[in-house]
């Protein structure tokens, strides 16, 4: 009887762990709803923001839960901070489809983006302090960064501050991933790089500054050109590193 009770308890515990990630993602959706309602109340946001922000968050949550099964066992404290970033980014992304609203409240959008950027540093600190660093957490953080950059690029296009060429910054990560399907040597794990991290923060910071109303189109173009050049340099360094360590005889491009 005791063994049977132990097995039942273990099964219940496993089931609880398997549901933990789903519950945490649902909590994130609730936070998106609360933040969206606050934006509605404070700034008279378009009613469609509920649908766009909620839909984008659900897409992020679905990708996390299905692409990284480990997340279903629970996120851990560092990834919960990253999830909070996802909540903020989903709201910013939901606003992007309303350029008139962005023009009236660019400072508020920039403030939300700045908070999301600040949390980008906090999740790494929490991971180190709690010993919860993981490959899943690093990938979650990196993919969220890439999506955030795309969102900010689209916002600047919607505001007519820069041309569509700025998507070079936003889509660089995804072009690199697609290239890896054709040239597998590009999929090799890269070493930690302070320069790479600095360039990523520079991209987001530059794009956020360019959202502000007092930054004219000419200045926005100049700032984002510098950011694009730094990004090309960062990717170039990594590609050279990967090329020199590719398997012998693998010269496919």
Q: What is the pLDDT of residue 6?
A: 46
Could you tell me which residue, 81 or 7, shows the higher pLDDT?
81
- DSSP symbols for 148-187: HHHHHHHHHHHTTSS-GGGHHHHHHHHHHHHHHHH-GGGG
Going along the chain from its start, the domains and CATH numbers come out as 13-244 (1.20.120)
pLDDT at 248: 66
Residue 222 sits at the vertex; the CA angle it makes with 217 and 224, to the nearest 5 degrees, is: 90
Q: Which of 17-26, 101-110, 210-219 has the lowest mean pLDDT?
A: 17-26
Query: What values do phi and psi take at 174, rounded to 5?
Result: -75, -35
- Alpha-carbon distance of 215 to 223, in angstroms, equals 10
> Residues 118-128: what's their mean pLDDT?
83
Contact 106, 141 (CB under 8 A): no
pTM of the model: 0.85
- The rounded radius of gyration (Å) of the Cα atoms in the chain is 21
pLDDT at 125: 83
CA 68 to chain CA centroid, Å, is 15
For the segment 35-59, what is each residue's pLDDT rounded down to a tens digit? Answer: 999 998 888 888 899 999 999 999 9
């Amino acid at each position: 009887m005791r063994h049977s009770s132990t097995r039942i308890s273990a099964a219940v515990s496993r089931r609880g762990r398997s549901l933990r990630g789903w519950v945490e993602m649902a909590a994130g959706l609730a936070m998106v709803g609360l933040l969206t309602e606050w934006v509605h109340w404070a700034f008279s946001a378009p009613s469609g923001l509920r649908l766009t922000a909620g839909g984008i968050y659900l897409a992020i949550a679905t990708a996390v839960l299905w692409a990284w099964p480990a997340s279903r066992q629970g996120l851990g404290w560092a990834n919960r901070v990253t999830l909070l970033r996802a909540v903020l980014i989903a709201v910013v992304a939901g606003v992007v489809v309303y350029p008139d609203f962005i023009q009236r409240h660019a400072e508020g959008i920039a403030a939300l983006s700045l908070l999301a950027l600040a949390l980008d540093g906090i999740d790494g600190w929490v991971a180190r302090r709690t010993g919860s660093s993981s490959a899943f957490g690093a990938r979650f953080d990196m993919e969220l960064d890439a999506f955030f950059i795309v969102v900010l690029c689209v916002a600047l296009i919607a505001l007519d501050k820069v041309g569509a060429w700025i998507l070079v910054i936003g889509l660089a990560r995804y072009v690199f991933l697609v290239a890896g399907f054709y040239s597998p040597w590009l999929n090799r794990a890269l070493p930690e790089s302070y320069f790479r991290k600095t360039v990523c923060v520079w991209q987001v910071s530059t794009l956020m500054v360019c959202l502000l109303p007092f930054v004219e189109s000419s200045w926005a173009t100049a700032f984002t050109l510098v950011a694009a050049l730094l990004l090309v340099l960062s990717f170039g360094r990594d590609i050279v590193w990967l090329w020199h360590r590719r398997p012998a005889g693998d010269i496919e491009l």
